[in-house]
Structure 1
Amino acid sequence: MYAESWQRLLDQAGPGGGRSGMSLASAGPAGGGGSGELKHRAKPWSDAAGTAHSLQTDTATAKAKLTSAHTGAEAGTAGLASMGALTSVRASWEKRLTAVHAECGALEPVLRETAWAQGEVDAGVKSALAQYSGKGR
């Protein structure tokens, strides 16, 4: 089943082919059922990227609405303490929305790349392991 060099190593490991009975929950019968293969799914990473994109869009919309709602508010209110407080709160929210917008903009492509890269790694590992099990020959 295994290439000769791998089989020697497994034989040296002792009974059970070097398996200690410890495994990941999703990695096979010892861990609670599964096919014995670790699987990667791009969907969680892609979903997270989609959420980052939505947050980026929503924060831009919220900032535009905030700006629009305050247009002209300062006219005729010079000297009122409440206007100073309102201006301070607005600036604080604009700063927060800008930071979230920027963070989501930076995060989205990284999440998409992670989904792609892990899929490529999975394919490469599967191909490499197939060579050692005799399936790739």
Structure 2
Amino acid sequence: MYTQSWQRLLDQAGQRPEAMSLASVGPAGSGSADGELKHSAKPWSDAAGTVHSLQTDTTKAKDTLTTAHAGAEAGTAGLACMGALTSVLASWELRLTAVHRECASLEPALRETARAQGEVDAGVKSALAQYSAPSGEGR
């Protein structure tokens, strides 16, 4: 059923092949999803909302860090720890900025995916409707 390399990986992971399936498809023979792949825009929209929240939170965190470090040099002049503190602040500012930028680029892509899926679904439904026989008519 699986190549030896896949079977070995499955065995190591403790997975039985019959237990594996896509999250949106029920197991074969279960009747839960009739083996049809189903999708929804909701996960994409939810992910976009989460990315937006993360983007906002990283901005707040960066502002909080900057405010917390303001004036620290005045009270610690000459101490070796000030160099380390400044280095740590700079490192976190870089990380938070990178996360913020990544989120800014992901959010529109996730929202577009959700929108596009809705349009594709509507288009397919419309295209297939022309092949449906009205009730009571045979083909």
Whether these two folds match at TM > 0.5 is yes
How many residues matched?
Answer: 112
More relative contact order, 1 or 2 (CA 8 Å, 6+ apart): 1
Structure 1 CA distance for aligned equivalents of residues 86 and 62 of structure 2: 14
Asked if the contact 2:28–2:35 (Cα under 8 Å) also holds between the matched residues in 1, the reply is no
Asked if the contact 1:45–1:111 (Cα under 8 Å) also holds between the matched residues in 2, the reply is yes
How far did residue 123 of structure 1 move?
Answer: 1.2
Query: Which structure has the greater CA radius of gyration?
Result: 1
Structure 1 CA distance for aligned equivalents of residues 24 and 68 of structure 2: 52
1:130 maps to which residue?
A: 129
Pair 1:103 & 2:70 matched: no
Q: Residue deviations 1:43-63, cap 9 Å, x none?
A: 111110000010001000000
The amino acid that maps onto 1:100 is: V
2:63 maps to which residue?
A: 64
Identity, % of aligned positions: 80
1:94 maps to which residue?
A: 93
Structure 1 CA distance for aligned equivalents of residues 93 and 25 of structure 2: 47
Gap runs ≥5 in structure 2: 1-21, 135-139
2:13 maps to which residue?
A: none
Deviates more, 1:61-70 or 1:33-42: 33-42
How far did residue 82 of structure 1 move?
Answer: 0.5
Asked if the contact 1:26–1:36 (Cα under 8 Å) also holds between the matched residues in 2, the reply is no
Asked if the contact 1:40–1:122 (Cα under 8 Å) also holds between the matched residues in 2, the reply is no
Gap runs ≥5 in structure 1: 1-23
1:114 maps to which residue?
A: 113
The amino acid that maps onto 2:57 is: D
Structure 2 CA distance for aligned equivalents of residues 29 and 131 of structure 1: 32
